[in-house]
A and B are shown apart, each in its own frame.
Chain A
């Protein structure tokens, strides 16, 4: 007991010593980090809102309630509503398979998941035009069935899924691997079915990874520009998503309009961050009693 006390006392002393020695270094490092974030992130974010409100509140409101802008927001929402759930299912299934089973083609699957990360979004868009466009492989068949994929909503949803599908899987694979399967084995030995094991044991352990992956996937799905731009056809009020609409307004020298609509995207991003923090706070509160 005495020895233990002595040990902790020394540890504390050592810690104090460490802090006092490195105070200068700590100060410099912290300052650099904060300054960098301020210049690169915070100031540009604020400037979006400053530009957006430059001509006053009415103009801002008019810009974002413009039918074209509303339709762009709707389309972005549709793309997100399809993309996130589908990629969630795919991500959980893929990470489960990769972390839990040894099968032929496992490492191939891991590499394939990364393709959207390594391929430029423009190319992703062009691949879909190549497949579903009128000149593409399925073009004629789709035309004869009167199904529009390219220059229509389905195309936009498809490329958004393609571009964002690594996010959730990539987030979950390392988590599942480091968790190991012992808890799941324990649940199964205790008589739980596969489904019960997933809901009661696996899911609670990976929920933070899932949430984080969903947030990243959501952010990217809302903001995707390149791939969507290729398949959209830029038909105003029909196939324009928020980023495409921002670009059009910007090219028309309508800066206030562009920044007003951009501010919606920014707000959505900030909202997701806040939601994440709130969920985080409450769940930790629960754990700590």
Chain B
């Protein structure tokens, strides 16, 4: 089932949480809503589920407006951040709940419910724990019970609010791979909320980057990562170095170094923001034609295939550079050395008013 979000607005008192938001989610997609806390991503998820009512706008499921449908009629599966398992029920009873509360005419028989629940527990690999109470389970197990419970009612849409937020790092990685595989198996349209870019990029088919109640960019993980549409996305996803530039006579300068650009600067009043990924830098012992700044090495962490070098530029601004181990050995640099950094790739944003530094 596809989901269309049309011009949604939501206020909490004076706070404008969602600002005229539009989004289309295709049937069978796994989409991540990614953004910093307070950006409105959870509110959007709750609006899709029907737990929250938008002030204006509509939500269409397969082209059909859901406004008149009560939460319980929307056929939505929702996994809460803290799971919200029924504490006084066993794992089995938790998963069976959605089936047991159906009106008699559409309620499956006892043995059907039992079969359905058992097969779901098998799916989430908890078949041996069906008599346990939530308090006797680990965080990861609770998460999977919550998921099985949501899937038991055969939802058309599965919504997950920070599904891995409360888990420790190891379990988290395992579970998100597992969720990806599960989605490939059952193909239910799914939306999950996260503030963890790594999680969004690894699990989702498409990532929706949100900020201050608006969408900054929608794209595949690759698009969002390699080609951020806005300075916000640049800052939010992956490490990035920011340089401030100025435009003089149509030319862009950083310090006294001129940078090439594609003619977006209209006037000399333009401020320029130059974003450079750490791995798009090279380090040289001597000044090169494309050197952007001289810098002093503050710290080197040579663990891994990329060596992280932290430097301070002429204005004592920190720069983060990642170079291959091979290159690091060639250079033979060490702490407190004075070197020159050259960008191999840059991304430049011009704006007269906004300050994109975050």
Contacts and interface: CB of A to CB of B under 8 A. Distances in A.
B101 A190 contact: yes
A155 to B, nearest CB: 41
Contact of A186 (B50, B78, B102, B131): B78
Interface in B40-92: 49-51, 71-73, 76-78, 80, 82, 84-88
A182 B80 CA distance: 8
B88 A187 contact: no
Nearest to B73: A191
A251 interface: no
A287 B84 contact: no
B97 A190 contact: yes
A278 interface: no
A181 to B, nearest CB: 9
A132 to B, nearest CB: 44
A10 B133 CA distance: 30
Contacts of B80: 182, 185-186
A187 B76 contact: no
Contact of B153 (A191, A193, A196): A191
A205 B88 contact: yes
Interface string A143-179: 0000000000000000000000000000000000000
Contact of B86 (A183, A188, A191, A287): A183
Contacts of A183: 84-87
B102 A191 contact: yes
Nearest to A191: B72
A191 B101 CA distance: 7
Contacts of B71: 188-189
A205 B87 contact: yes
A185 B131 CA distance: 24
Contacts of B51: 185, 189
Contact of B101 (A182, A193, A204, A205): A193
A206 to B, nearest CB: 11
Nearest to A283: B88
B140 interface: no
A249 interface: no
Nearest to B93: A200
B149 A190 contact: yes
Interface in A198-226: 200-201, 204-205
Given A190-B149, A192-B72, A200-B97, A182 B88 contact: no
B153 A190 contact: yes
B318 interface: no
A190 B80 CA distance: 12
B20 interface: no
A3 interface: no
A40 interface: no
B84 A190 contact: no
Interface residues of A, number: 18
Contacts of B87: 183, 205
Contacts of A192: 72, 97-98, 101
Most chain A C-beta atoms within 10 Å of own C-beta, residue among B51, B73, B85: B51
A193 B72 contact: yes
| Interface size range on B against A | 20 to 34
B72 A287 contact: no
Contacts of A193: 72, 101
A43 interface: no
Nearest to B97: A190
A289 interface: yes
Interface string B332-348: 00000000000000000
A287 to B, nearest CB: 6
Given A182-B82, A183-B86, A189 B101 contact: no
Contact of B88 (A190, A287, A289): A287
A192 B73 CA distance: 10
B86 A201 contact: yes
A188 B72 contact: yes
Nearest to A194: B72
Interface string B207-239: 000000000000000000000000000000000
Contact of A187 (B49, B77, B97, B102): B97
A208 to B, nearest CB: 11
A189 B72 contact: yes
A73 to B, nearest CB: 37
Given A182-B84, A186-B84, A193-B101, A287 B153 contact: no
B137 to A, nearest CB: 13
A136 to B, nearest CB: 45
Give the most central of B77, B85, B97: most A CB within 10 Å: B97
Given A196-B101, A200-B97, A289-B131, A189 B76 contact: yes
Nearest to A287: B133
Contacts of B97: 187, 190, 192, 200
Interface in A98-127: none
Contacts of B150: 189-190
Most A-side CB within 10 Å, residue of B82, B86, B150: B86
A137 to B, nearest CB: 42
Nearest to B77: A189
Question: Which 4 A-B residue pairings sit nearest by Cβ, starting from the closest?
Answer: A190-B98, A182-B84, A192-B101, A186-B84
Interface of B: 49-51, 71-73, 76-78, 80, 82, 84-88, 97-98, 101-102, 131, 133, 149-150, 152-153
16 contacts: A182-B84, A185-B51, A185-B78, A186-B78, A186-B80, A186-B86, A187-B101, A189-B49, A189-B51, A189-B77, A190-B101, A190-B153, A191-B72, A192-B97, A192-B101, A287-B88
Given A186-B149, A191-B101, 6 more contacts: A185-B84, A186-B78, A187-B86, A191-B153, A193-B72, A201-B86
